[in-house]
C-alpha cells in the first residue's frame, strides 16, 4: 500500500496530479479543488490510497489524512466505488459529509453526483456509527426541529423527498437560532414548496 507521496508537482490536471518522485512521474487522482490549487514545480506531500482492481492500479491523493480516511470509509458502502467516493469529497468537505451522515440528511447527500436516494440511505445506514463528526455537534435538542418539520410536511401530503428539500432550504436560517421555532420553520418550509 502506498500511504503517501512526497515530491514535486510535474503536471496538475482537472482531477489528477503528476508528482515526480526520484525521477519517476506518478499519477494521483484527486478532487478538482486539490488539482486547481497545485502549480508545477512546487513541492508537495499527498496522503494516498491505492485502489487495486483486476485490470488496474489507481492511486488517489489528498492534501490531508482526514480526506483520505473519509474517502476510504465511503468506499465501504455497498455499491460505492472510488469514483463516487471522490465525487463525494469534490462536493462536500469531510466535516460536511460527516454531518450529513450523522443527521441523516438525505437531501444533502443526494447533491453528490452518482448518489441517489437509495445510495444516500445506504450511506447513512452503513456509515452513521463509523463516520462520526470530528467536532462536537450541537445538542440533539437543537436538531430535533428537523424531525418535527418533516413529520408536519409529510402529514400535509408532501413526499419525503420534497420534505428533505424544504428542510435543506430552511436549514441555514434554523442554524442561526439558539432555539429553533418548529412552527415558524414549518411555515417557511411550506413557502419554499409552494414556490415550486
For domain 65-127, the CATH superfamily is 5' to 3' exonuclease, C-terminal subdomain (1.10.150.20)
Q: Tell me, what's the pLDDT at 134?
A: 53
Q: Which residue has the cell 414548496?
A: 193
Min mean pLDDT across 42-51, 62-71, 78-87, 163-172 is at: 163-172
Alpha-helix residue ranges (DSSP H) falling in 31-159:
32-36, 65-74, 82-91, 94-103, 106-109, 117-127, 140-143, 145-155
CATH class of the domain at 4-62: mainly beta
The predicted model gives 96-116 an average pLDDT of: 92
Domain boundaries, the chain: 4-62, 65-127, 140-195
pLDDT tens, residue by residue, 125-176: 999 888 866 544 444 444 677 778 887 887 788 887 788 888 888 888 887 7
Amino acid at each position: 500500500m502506498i500511504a503517501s507521496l512526497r515530491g514535486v508537482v510535474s503536471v496538475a490536471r482537472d482531477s489528477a496530479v503528476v508528482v515526480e518522485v526520484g525521477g519517476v512521474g506518478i499519477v494521483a487522482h484527486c478532487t478538482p479543488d486539490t488539482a486547481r490549487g497545485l502549480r508545477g514545480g512546487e513541492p508537495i506531500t499527498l496522503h494516498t490510497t491505492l485502489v487495486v482492481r483486476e485490470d488496474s492500479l489507481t492511486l488517489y491523493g489528498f492534501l490531508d489524512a482526514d480526506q483520505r480516511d473519509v474517502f476510504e470509509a465511503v468506499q465501504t458502502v455497498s455499491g460505492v466505488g472510488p469514483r463516487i467516493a471522490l465525487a463525494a469529497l469534490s462536493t462536500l468537505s469531510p466535516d460536511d459529509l460527516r454531518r450529513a451522515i450523522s443527521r441523516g440528511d438525505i437531501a444533502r447527500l443526494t447533491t453528490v453526483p452518482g448518489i441517489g436516494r437509495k445510495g444516500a440511505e445506504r450511506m447513512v445506514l452503513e456509515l452513521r456509527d463509523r463516520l462520526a463528526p470530528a467536532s462536537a455537534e450541537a445538542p440533539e435538542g437543537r436538531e430535533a426541529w428537523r424531525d418535527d418539520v418533516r413529520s408536519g410536511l409529510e402529514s400535509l401530503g408532501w413526499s419525503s423527498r420534497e420534505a428533505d428539500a424544504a428542510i435543506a432550504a430552511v436549514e441555514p436560517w434554523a442554524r442561526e437560532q439558539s432555539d429553533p421555532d418548529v412552527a415558524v420553520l414549518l411555515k417557511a418550509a411550506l413557502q419554499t414548496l409552494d414556490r415550486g
